């Protein structure tokens, strides 16, 4: 016999369900007067440093239909590559940038939209620099555990080429599922849950 390691088990995930908006974006759900605004609905203000961009896209199921009941959250570094988090020890992030956003996909077209800034590069664990990226987390009815992925920027081909995560994708044609094309200041990132163009999802 040996000592018991004594660790607890993580609480198991369950789907967010179709009414996730009641708890996470109540104003969007028409429940007004409880919270002033929906948390995560704004990431920037007038003083935020960096290049303003719009990130938009859809979450698409295995039959090609956009989800109209998903909630998408993003987490990213500021323009200088610093995270607005107590666990960020490399420096102080831009106080006018939250780094975190939350948006439900719209009831008509199933589109999510974030007004944010382009993130700076941050280090991988061995000190190499990762390409600029935004971490995504997707929950919805029918998704039993939130899906993590990353969005990279199509106008950063050199950085993307040396990114340690992208380099680990064995089937090279799948790299494109993580790279959002740019048009003006808008990046479009469609997330395919299943099928031919299935987005690379991460076990992080």
Partner 1 sequence: MSDLSNKKPETGAFFQRDRAWHAPALTPGYKTSVLRSPQKALLSLDGTISEITGPVFGHSILGELDNDLIHNFARPGESAIGERIIVHGRVLDERGKPVPGALLEFWQANAGGRYRHKKETYLAPLDPNFGGCGRAITDEEGGYRFRTIRPGPYPWPNGVNDWRPAHIHFSIFGHGFAQRLITQMYFEGDPMIWKCPIVTTIPDRRAIEQLIAPLDWANTIPMDARAYKFDIVLRGRRSTLFENRLEGN
Residues 127-146 that bind partner 1 (CB under 8 A): 127, 130, 133, 135, 137, 139-146
* Interaction of residue 73 with partner 1, rule CB under 8 A: yes
1-30 mask for partner 1 (x: CB under 8 A)? -----xxxxxxxxxxxxxxxxxxx-x--xx
Count the Cβ atoms, other than its own, within 10 Å of residue 124.
Answer: 14
Q: Which is nearer to partner 1, 79 or 130 (CB)?
A: 130
Return d(Cα 24, Cα 102) in angstroms, integer: 9
Q: Which is nearer to partner 1, 109 or 183 (CB)?
A: 109
Q: What is the DSSP string of 57-100?
A: EEEE-TTSPBPSS-EEEEE---TTS--SSTT--SSPPPTTB--E
Minimum distance from CB of 183 to partner 1 (Å)? Answer: 25
Mention every residue, 6+ apart, whose C-beta is less than 8 A from residue 15: 139, 140, 141, 142, 143, 144
Q: Which is nearer to partner 1, 96 or 188 (CB)?
A: 96
Give, as ranges, the residues between 38 and 67 that touch partner 1 (CB under 8 A). Answer: 39, 61-63, 65, 67
């Amino acid at each position: 016999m040996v000592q018991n390691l004594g660790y607890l088990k993580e609480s198991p995930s369950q789907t967010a369900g179709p009414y996730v908006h009641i708890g996470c974006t109540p104003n969007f759900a028409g429940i007004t007067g409880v919270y002033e605004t929906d948390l995560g609905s704004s990431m920037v203000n007038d003083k935020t440093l960096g290049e303003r961009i719009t990130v938009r896209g859809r979450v698409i199921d295995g039959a090609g239909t956009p989800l109209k009941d998903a909630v998408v959250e993003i987490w990213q570094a500021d323009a200088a590559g610093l995270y607005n988090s107590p666990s960020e020890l490399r420096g102080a992030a831009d106080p006018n940038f939250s780094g975190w956003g939350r948006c439900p996909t719209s009831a008509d077209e199933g589109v999510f939209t974030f007004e944010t800034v382009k993130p700076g590069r941050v280090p991988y664990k061995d000190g190499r620099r990762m390409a600029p990226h935004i971490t995504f987390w997707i929950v919805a009815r029918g998704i039993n555990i939130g899906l993590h992925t990353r969005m990279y920027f199509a106008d950063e081909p050199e950085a993307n080429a040396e990114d340690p995560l992208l380099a680990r994708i064995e089937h090279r044609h799948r790299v494109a599922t993580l790279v959002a094309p740019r048009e003006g200041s808008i990046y479009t990132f469609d997330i395919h849950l299943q099928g031919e163009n299935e987005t690379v999802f991460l076990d992080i």
